[in-house]
């Protein structure tokens, strides 16, 4: 049987032209032509078990590659299942394209299966939402979507693809040209309906395939203000205790991460890294500070913040004295002045801004040695406290001890995925990303459930790297079913669940404040058995003396191609006591 070319093939061809390698999806009749066309085009189609994870995976691809990740879901509930993941991408400023199936255009608002106003649903959480109404519009709409997604402040774009536009013109004409099951001569109403349907199809398919040629577009980002760079250098050169904070937005050029690392190093300013910037300077750079950031902010006399606002992560800027000079670089005008008006606010690409400062600053060798050493001493003191707490005996495994053991064995070419509350927050103090883009967490939205999707995207982008998915036991419930996806697509990811049988981050405050653990208790569930049910390899870990062996067995199993889940039973500690975020 010869399959006729359809608009699903055309869409897939455009994705291929844009360099898309992976299409994340959960199947549905509304989008079948696109999925088949993508496979024919050589795009790797990854089908997941929950639509949210298709979007999370596309988000991870965008963060790691700097190019939009792409996912496709069916109409109605297929789209609404993605809302949290879409909002997470918007708040994390991740560029991605979501293609959504839809009811036939001709039956819109007439009770068709899964027909809702999808553009209204997503309007507030995407940069652009649009319907492709004619085959003539496919190429310009898609090219514009890629441009919008990446330009300025990156974010998600939603494109609705009606089912009667995706299938072949011949088949659609058959659908709309069917005669009623009756021998009666069609009346005027029937003839008018037939005319309307044929005219509708004529309009949808008015362009010939050979006329559909790709255009050109450019990705727009804020220009670099050279005068602002000079002003920043002047402020920095007069500071005695400068401090730098680099956030995720500075990492929007993944291919040039080493250039950014060199620039940060050459400035000689002590630095804290957050979000996607974690790992930028490796695991043990002399300027990299990891602990007691609040104290450092209090003691600094100048703060350079690049690619993040003064939000809840920085106590809304309240820890900074009124006389402290602040330089802020951000693509977003609102984030630039959020909660604290900077002395120098630069609406620009933080990457370009940071890379330009060293030349303007000139040679500043050893200018802030005593300040750097003071912060390093504070860092070392906190490390000593963590080592002491890691040695304390608790029921089952001490989570700090477990994570220190993990930090000692993960490969230098590893990527760490963070999905959880208390256990993952603890991990952020102990695990040291080895390289740029080697740490993925949800971002400012604090979403639970990103883990499996992020791990999918990371492993596909870097099949040669070891992927560690760090789960809290609560967060694991959102995406544990994707072990089936890992197995089916041959993606040997290693998941470690810190299983303390509870929603501990919430319980830490709820129980002392209200003397009630309602809705915060779970069970020491056999998650390793669940993973084995999906075809992976599971390990139960509940003894200190078994930690090294289990980690080594897990690494070897993954190297041999099988996904792994380590169910680590952990006890409670006071490490993060009083750590509520609001």
Q: Write phi, then psi, for 553 (nearest 5 degrees).
A: -65, -40
Q: Which of 479, 514, 411, 564 lies closest to 60, judged by CA?
A: 479
Based on the fold, state whether residues 238 and 182 are members of the same structural domain: no
For residue 160, list its beta bridge partners.
100, 131
The DSSP letter of residue 502 is B
Give yes or no for a contact between 420 and 474, defined as CB atoms under 8 angstroms apart.
Answer: yes
Tokens 């560029």, located at residue: 95
pLDDT at 215: 59
Asked, for residue 231, whether it belongs to a domain, the answer is yes
Residue 543 sits in a domain of what CATH number? 3.40.50.970
Asked, for residue 149, whether it belongs to a domain, the answer is yes
pLDDT at 174: 78
Give yes or no for a contact between 382 and 554, defined as CB atoms under 8 angstroms apart.
Answer: no
* Residue-level pLDDT, tens digit, the chain, 582 residues: 445 678 899 999 999 999 999 999 999 989 999 999 999 999 999 999 999 999 999 999 999 999 999 999 999 999 999 999 999 999 999 999 999 998 887 667 777 777 789 999 999 999 999 999 888 888 889 999 999 999 999 999 999 999 888 888 887 777 776 544 555 565 665 666 566 667 777 777 877 655 555 556 677 778 888 999 999 999 999 999 999 999 999 999 999 999 999 999 999 999 999 999 999 999 999 999 999 999 999 999 999 999 999 999 999 998 888 889 999 999 999 999 999 999 999 999 999 999 999 999 887 667 899 999 999 999 999 999 999 999 999 999 999 999 999 999 999 999 999 999 999 999 999 999 999 999 999 999 999 999 999 999 999 999 999 999 999 999 999 999 999 999 999 999 999 999 999 999 999 999 999 999 999 999 999 999 999 999 999 999 999 999 999 999 999 999 999 999 999 999 999 888 766 655
Domain count, the chain: 3
Based on the fold, state whether residues 397 and 523 are members of the same structural domain: yes
pLDDT at 168: 81
Q: How far apart are CA 355 and CA 253, in angstroms?
A: 12
Q: Which of 193, 188, 161, 209 lies closest to 33, judged by CA?
A: 161
Based on the fold, state whether residues 56 and 90 are members of the same structural domain: yes
> Where a domain ends, among 209, 241, 265?
209
Asked, for residue 317, whether it belongs to a domain, the answer is yes
> Where a domain ends, among 153, 175, 209?
209
Asked, for residue 576, whether it belongs to a domain, the answer is no
Based on the fold, state whether residues 74 and 187 are members of the same structural domain: yes
Q: Find the DSSP H helices in 66-137.
A: 77-80, 83-92, 118-122
Based on the fold, state whether residues 238 and 203 are members of the same structural domain: no
Residues 6+ away with beta carbon under 8 Å from 386: 400, 404, 429, 430, 575
Q: Which of 471, 472, 542, 541 lies closest to 505, judged by CA?
A: 472
Q: Is residue 439 within a helix (H) or strand (E), and if so which, with residue range? A: strand 439-440
Q: Residue 403, SS3?
A: helix
Asked, for residue 582, whether it belongs to a domain, the answer is no
Domain range for 466 is 391-569
Give the neighbor-by-neighbor strand order of the sheet with 96-102: 44-47, 22-25, 69-73, 96-102, 156-162, 128-131
Enter the pTM of the model: 0.93
Q: Which of 387, 390, 451, 445 lies closest to 419, judged by CA?
A: 451
> Where a domain ends, among 333, 348, 375?
375
Based on the fold, state whether residues 170 and 95 are members of the same structural domain: yes
Q: Which of 164, 210, 208, 198 lies closest to 8, judged by CA?
A: 164
Based on the fold, state whether residues 91 and 125 are members of the same structural domain: yes
Q: What is the DSSP code string of 207-239? A: S-GGG----------PPP-HHHHHHHHHHHHT-
Q: How far apart are CA 364 and CA 367, in angstroms?
A: 6
Q: What is the DSSP code string of 294-312? A: HHHHHH-SEEEEES--SSG
Q: Is the dihedral of CA 392, 397, 401, 405 positive or negative?
A: positive
Based on the fold, state whether residues 464 and 402 are members of the same structural domain: yes
Asked, for residue 221, whether it belongs to a domain, the answer is no
Based on the fold, state whether residues 489 and 396 are members of the same structural domain: yes
Rg (CA), the chain: 26
Give yes or no for a contact between 306 and 247, defined as CB atoms under 8 angstroms apart.
Answer: yes
Based on the fold, state whether residues 121 and 153 are members of the same structural domain: yes
Distances (CA, A) of 499 to 101, 217, 474, 573, 575: 38, 49, 8, 13, 16
Q: How far apart are CA 291 and CA 456, in angstroms?
A: 30
Based on the fold, state whether residues 254 and 176 are members of the same structural domain: no
Tokens 């003064």, located at residue: 310
Q: How far apart are CA 312 and CA 297, in angstroms?
A: 14
Asked, for residue 364, whether it belongs to a domain, the answer is yes
Asked, for residue 465, whether it belongs to a domain, the answer is yes
Based on the fold, state whether residues 312 and 265 are members of the same structural domain: yes
Residues 6+ away with beta carbon under 8 Å from 184: none
Residues 6+ away with beta carbon under 8 Å from 345: 328, 330, 336, 337
pLDDT at 192: 62
Q: How far apart are CA 55 and CA 550, in angstroms?
A: 32
Q: What is the DSSP code string of 20-45? A: --EEEE---GGGHHHHHHHHHTT-EE
* Termini Cα distance of the chain: 60
């Amino acid at each position: 049987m010869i399959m006729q070319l359809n608009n699903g093939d055309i869409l897939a061809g455009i994705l291929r032209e844009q360099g898309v390698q992976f299409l994340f999806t959960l199947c549905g009749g509304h989008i079948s032509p696109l999925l088949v066309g993508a496979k024919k085009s050589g795009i790797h189609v990854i089908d997941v078990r929950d639509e949210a994870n298709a979007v999370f995976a596309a988000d991870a691809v965008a963060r790691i590659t700097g190019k939009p990740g792409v996912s496709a879901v069916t109409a109605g509930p297929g789209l609404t299942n993605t809302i949290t993941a879409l909002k997470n991408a918007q708040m994390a400023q991740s560029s991605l394209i979501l293609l959504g199936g839809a009811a036939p255009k001709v039956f819109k608002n007439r009770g068709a299966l899964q027909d809702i106003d999808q553009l209204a649903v997503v309007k507030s959480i995407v940069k652009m939402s649009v319907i492709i109404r004619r085959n003539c519009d496919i190429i310009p709409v898609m090219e514009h979507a890629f441009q919008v997604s990446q330009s300025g402040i990156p974010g998600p774009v939603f494109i609705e693809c009606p089912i009667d536009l995706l299938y072949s013109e011949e088949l659609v004409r058959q659908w709309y040209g069917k005669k009623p099951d009756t021998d009666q001569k069609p009346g005027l109403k029937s003839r008018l309906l037939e005319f309307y349907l044929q005219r509708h199809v004529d309009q949808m398919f008015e362009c010939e395939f050979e006329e559909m040629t790709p255009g050109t577009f450019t990705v727009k980002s804020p220009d670099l203000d050279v005068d602002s760079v000079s002003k920043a250098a002047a402020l920095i050169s007069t500071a005695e205790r400068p401090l730098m904070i680099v956030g995720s937005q500075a990492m929007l050029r993944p291919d040039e991460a080493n250039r950014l690392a060199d620039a940060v190093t050459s400035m000689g300013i002590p630095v804290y890294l957050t979000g996607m910037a974690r790992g930028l300077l490796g695991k043990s750079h002399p300027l990299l500070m990891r602990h007691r950031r609040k104290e450092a902010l209090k003691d600094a006399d100048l703060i350079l913040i690049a690619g993040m606002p003064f939000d809840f992560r920085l106590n809304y800027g309240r820890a900074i004295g009124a006389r402290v000079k602040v330089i802020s670089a951000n693509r977003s005008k609102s984030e630039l002045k959020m909660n604290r008006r900077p002395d120098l606010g630069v609406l620009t690409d933080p990457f370009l801004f940071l890379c330009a400062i060293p030349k303007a600053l000139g040679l500043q060798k050893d200018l802030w040695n005593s300040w750097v050493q003071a912060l390093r001493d504070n860092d070392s003191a906190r490390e000593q406290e963590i080592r002491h707490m890691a040695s304390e005996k608790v029921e089952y495994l001490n989570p700090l001890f477990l994570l220190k053991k993990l930090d000692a064995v993960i490969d230098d070419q590893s990527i760490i995925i963070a999905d959880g509350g208390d256990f993952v927050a603890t991990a952020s103090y102990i695990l040291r990303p080895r390289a740029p883009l080697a740490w993925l967490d949800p971002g400012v939205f604090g979403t639970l459930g990103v883990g499996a999707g992020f791990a999918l995207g990371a492993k596909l982008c870097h099949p040669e790297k070891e992927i560690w998915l760090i789960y809290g036991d609560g967060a694991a419930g959102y995406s544990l079913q994707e072990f089936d996806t890992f197995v089916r697509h041959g993606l040997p990811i290693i998941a470690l669940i810190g299983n303390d049988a509870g929603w501990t981050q919430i319980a830490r405050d709820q129980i002392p404040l209200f003397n009630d653990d309602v809705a915060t208790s779970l069970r020491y569930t056999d998650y390793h058995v669940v993973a084995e049910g999906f075809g992976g390899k599971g390990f139960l870990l509940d003894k200190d003396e078994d930690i090294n062996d289990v980690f080594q067995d897990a690494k070897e199993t993954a190297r041999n191609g099988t996904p792994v889940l380590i169910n680590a039973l952990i006890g409670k500690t006071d490490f993060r006591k009083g750590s509520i975020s609001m």
